[in-house]
A and B are shown apart, each in its own frame.
Chain A
């Protein structure tokens, strides 16, 4: 095996990190990304299947060497228990977005039609607006946003990517069953 800095193609890569759910841990992670000048596209954190352990999905733009450094530096944080690069694995990637779209009686039907095509849900309707919820890959979310932009997007909230490897194995190393 040969490790060489500054080589290879840049692409979006997905890392999963498991970390102890303790005060300041997220701060340490974010601080690391800032201080080492890593290019983070999205980051989402929440509870994992194990009580006391949080799971973070981070999308990093980099080449092999950069991603390897990110993973190693993350693992050096004492509270981080596991780091996996799942970029090359069969995995599902999902993002959730909420969109508040300008909608009048004239456009409501057309927006609903678009929502149906994208399997987005309409979760709130007001005379001047409606809120749509969509779950899917970033590309799918991007597409819906593009289609809705002409109607006027008043607010947009995206969660960033969450990811999971397909099959029985997992990033926890225990096979994932309880």
Chain B
């Protein structure tokens, strides 16, 4: 049954039909007709304080729920402010639909007030985009946008809608299917290749699985665990693969790569078989590709054929959705034990344990201790939203995720300022979860304005700042590779607790190790949002650390206590 509606109404009708419960955005001239209709539809709108936050919040929502996140902005500066957030989401295969207003089609291309070439600017950072200049194209474009965003390898789809389209009327019929002749995701792996993979796994003496975000996107955690336990294969995860397997599992080696655990890196470098599942073998994981896993045959399972052979040599590619492929693969794999291999890994792990700073008798307020205490207090069940830099690596090393989709972080783009706005999306998408931000003082100040949104929307986010007064990761690199020339890295911050109070959020300052546990307990006891400013050791480093260009087992290790 069709109705006569204007473009703005059609957009909301489509969003409701796609099950959209929340939109993050900021209104403005070229999107006003859409906002005018908003109160008539059962969709929650979160007005953020900067459009970048709208994109991050939609991204956080999408990562935490697996559903499409939606953000909205006006033309010109509204659209350009979205760009960082869209690039962040696209790089990490997060399903986001971005809706931007555009100047009227009659003045398009005339450098009109607040006109910018939004589809042009975003072209390299989206999966697909539409510039809609005819209201009759709108419903089909929205239908396709949602389908594209969350099928195959998920990504960002942008809908740029001219202002006249928002006001023009047409008969509304929501299409029931899409017609995209050039888009056919390969979801089912080749049976012969899957059989061959099983054979390679059955013959391997020193296998390692590398689990990436593709496992989480495909919701293949059960199947991964089944494979791991049946064939007793140790698992290294990528940063974005964390929480694909419970991290206290004895076969979980945690994150590998540039700041990965030494035993994870040694395992990959000594493996005779690597099974990469839903990972793009990113440079932070492998370092220089030619030095990666020199003794291993590589099986690469990925839904995106363009990732196969892009960075590392692949002996057996399987293009398909991780869930489908693993379901077919697990029954073909024979039970195995690999006792010698696992014993060797345990030796490496024991060596790491000896070096752990948490065993040291120190009164220093070190970030590892802070993260570990948050882990203890939340029993590994929180959804952690980390920012970028040292804080992100300490979180990755010391918070052992037990909850699925328990870590939300910007991996590929490494976007500082991601954590707080992304956490808003997480909190709305997962209202029953405990959401905990870990950020540095640098990244936190990049999107700090969203504290107002957190309060306005009553989002019970626990915010912990690992505050060292530096852009710490860069300072660490300067210490090792730039002669301690701390150029541009020392930064002044406000009194974060007072700042939080100014927004109406309880603020806690922690300066001593002895205050950490109590502060975390206080934060958990408070129902709403809380901010804790952990004033940590200023020049503390993230170890292990693989210098750029070195193989991943040539690490600067955590020092042994002397």
Contacts and interface: CB of A to CB of B under 8 A. Distances in A.
Interface of A: 1-6, 19-20, 23-24, 27-28, 31-32, 35, 65, 68-69, 72-73, 75-82
Interface string B311-332: 1111101000000000000000
B182 A20 contact: yes
B306 A76 contact: yes
Contact of A3 (B123, B180, B317): B317
Contacts of B290: 6
B181 interface: yes
Contacts of A31: 123-124
Contacts of A81: 181-182
B309 A65 contact: yes
Given A1-B317, A2-B315, A27-B120, 6 more contacts: A3-B309, A3-B314, A5-B309, A20-B182, A76-B304, A76-B306
A32 B312 CA distance: 21
B305 interface: yes
A19 B182 contact: yes
B124 A35 contact: yes
B264 interface: no
A68 to B, nearest CB: 7
Contacts of A28: 123
Contact of A69 (B131, B306, B315): B306
Contacts of B308: 3
Contact of B310 (A5, A27, A32): A5
Given A3-B314, A78-B128, A78-B180, A68 B123 contact: no
Interface of B: 119-120, 123-124, 127-128, 131, 148, 180-183, 289-290, 304-306, 308-315, 317
Nearest to A28: B123
Most chain A beta-carbon neighbours within 10 Å: one of B180, B181, B305: B181
A115 B290 CA distance: 53
Question: Top 7 closest A-B pairs, CB basis?
Answer: A3-B309, A72-B306, A4-B313, A81-B182, A78-B128, A35-B124, A3-B314
Given A72-B305, A72-B306, A78-B183, A24 B119 contact: yes
Contacts of B128: 78
A177 B425 CA distance: 53
A72 B309 CA distance: 11
B127 A78 contact: yes
B538 to A, nearest CB: 39
B182 A77 contact: yes
Contacts of B127: 78
Q: Secondary structure at chain A's binding surface: helix, strand, loop or mixed? A: mixed
Most chain A beta-carbon neighbours within 10 Å: one of B183, B290, B308, B312: B183
A130 B29 CA distance: 57
Given A31-B124, A69-B306, A72-B305, A2 B313 contact: yes
A31 B289 CA distance: 26
A165 B339 CA distance: 56
Contact of B182 (A2, A68, A78): A78
30 contacts: A2-B314, A2-B315, A3-B308, A3-B314, A3-B317, A4-B309, A4-B313, A5-B311, A5-B313, A19-B182, A20-B181, A20-B182, A24-B119, A24-B131, A31-B123, A35-B124, A65-B309, A69-B309, A69-B310, A75-B305, A75-B306, A76-B304, A76-B306, A77-B182, A78-B127, A78-B128, A78-B183, A79-B182, A80-B182, A81-B181
A115 to B, nearest CB: 43
Contacts of A73: 306
A80 B310 CA distance: 20
Contacts of A27: 120, 123
Contacts of B180: 78
A68 B307 CA distance: 11
Nearest to A65: B309
Contacts of A77: 182
Contacts of B131: 23-24
Contacts of A2: 313-315
Nearest to B133: A23
Contacts of A72: 305-306
A124 B13 CA distance: 61
Contacts of A5: 289, 309-313
Contacts of B181: 20, 81
A78 B141 CA distance: 13
A10 to B, nearest CB: 17
Nearest to B181: A81
B476 to A, nearest CB: 30
B158 to A, nearest CB: 12
A5 B48 CA distance: 43
Contacts of B309: 3-5, 65, 68-69
B317 to A, nearest CB: 6
Contacts of A20: 181-182
Contacts of B312: 5
Contacts of B148: 78
B287 to A, nearest CB: 15
Most chain A beta-carbon neighbours within 10 Å: one of B305, B306, B314: B306
A5 B290 CA distance: 9
B96 to A, nearest CB: 16
Contacts of A32: 124
Nearest to B304: A76
A82 B317 CA distance: 21
A77 B123 CA distance: 11
A79 B144 CA distance: 12
A27 B124 CA distance: 11
A65 to B, nearest CB: 6
Contacts of B119: 24
A82 B181 CA distance: 9
B434 to A, nearest CB: 38
Nearest to B180: A78
B313 A3 contact: yes
Nearest to A81: B182
A31 B317 CA distance: 28
Nearest to A79: B182
